[in-house]
Amino acid sequence: MDSEKEFLANYNIKEYERPSLTTDVAAFIVSTEDSNSDRRAPENKLRLLLIKRGGHPFKGMWALPGGFLQSGETIEECALRETFEETNVMPSALVPVGTFSKPGRDPRGWIISNAFVSIITEEAVKQVGMDDASDAQWFSVSFDRDDDEVYRLTLEYGETVLEALLSEERSDLGRTDFRIIDSGGLAFDHASIIAKALTVLRKEAKNYDTIFNFLPEKFTLTALQKVQETIMNISVLPGNFRRMVSSYVEETGEYVKGARHRPAMLYKRKK
């Protein structure tokens, strides 16, 4: 053929087998729960949105929100659309987790998933009344490694407890993934995706720019510290934390309203 135009005119893409593309979104919030004791501060918990599947495959099992890429849509646009459709909230941040393409990961056929971490503020979720959905719930998250190098992913909502077991795998290309030992009641390979998403989120949380996406425009330093500690599963001395974030925040001159004791200063992200 003499030209690219002629080549393309005779090219038939249908002659080649093609995969379907999907996005799966690990949407997180940090929720605040009132303590039963007047002397204890409210507790923060990291929560993940899961959807109870209404059809096959994996009917009745819990899964990440997601769906198939539509014509004319980018992968990122698909992830944002799917998150908005499930939460009625547009994410304040979207972080790539990776591509999941292991053969047989989806019993429907050759389906490749592009996974993302989505960050949503608790304030935004409360405004749209997400807690009332029967097939979409915010599960508290625990993710730790046992002494025998097995990772335990525990997701809880009410009396529903999902506990997946995974092991860490390093590929020849230097990528770290998680092999599922026990899916714990999660659909597809979503236990592996969630484990990788949490790893990415904790890495991102070392950068304070990510933490701000979990907070309203104005916040206390205690709230900022609790969000980072909750995500990273660590504890930092308040004095040390204040020094670490001093170059990232600035005072607003405003204080928390309705406080019982000395009101705390409100801060905002430094531009």
The tens digit of pLDDT for each residue in 183-233 reads 999 999 999 999 999 999 999 888 888 889 898 899 999 999 999 999 998
Q: Say yes or no: 25 and 136 in one domain.
A: yes
Return the pLDDT at 36: 56
Q: Say yes or no: 162 and 243 in one domain.
A: no
Asked if residue 254 is part of any domain, the answer here is yes
Domain boundaries, position 161: 20-204
Asked if residue 3 is part of any domain, the answer here is no
Average pLDDT, integer, range 89-95: 87
CA atoms of 238 and 176, how far apart (whole Å): 33
Which positions ≥6 away from 9 have C-beta within 8 Å? none
- pLDDT exceeds cutoff 80 at 131: no
CA atoms of 12 and 249, how far apart (whole Å): 56
Classify residue 188 as left (phi > 0), alpha (psi -120 to 50) or beta: left
Which positions ≥6 away from 217 have C-beta within 8 Å? 268, 269
The enclosing domain of 182 has a CATH number of: 3.90.79.10
Closest by CA position to 251, among listed 270, 237, 232: 270
Model-level pTM? Answer: 0.89
Please tell me the total count of domains within the chain: 2
Count Cβ atoms below 10 Å from residue 183 Cβ, excluding itself: 20
Closest by CA position to 216, among listed 266, 264, 255: 266
**How many contiguous H segments (helices) and E segments (strands) does the chain have?**
7, 12
Confidence of residue 134 (pLDDT cuts 50, 70, 90): low
Confidence of residue 168 (pLDDT cuts 50, 70, 90): very high
CA atoms of 84 and 251, how far apart (whole Å): 33
CA atoms of 49 and 26, how far apart (whole Å): 7
What is the chain's mean pLDDT, rounded?
Answer: 88
Percent of the chain with pLDDT over 70: 92
Q: Say yes or no: 77 and 179 in one domain.
A: yes
Point out the domain boundary residue: 186, 204, 222.
Answer: 204
Which amino acid, one-letter code, is at 193? I
Which amino acid, one-letter code, is at 198? L
Average pLDDT, integer, range 67-95: 91
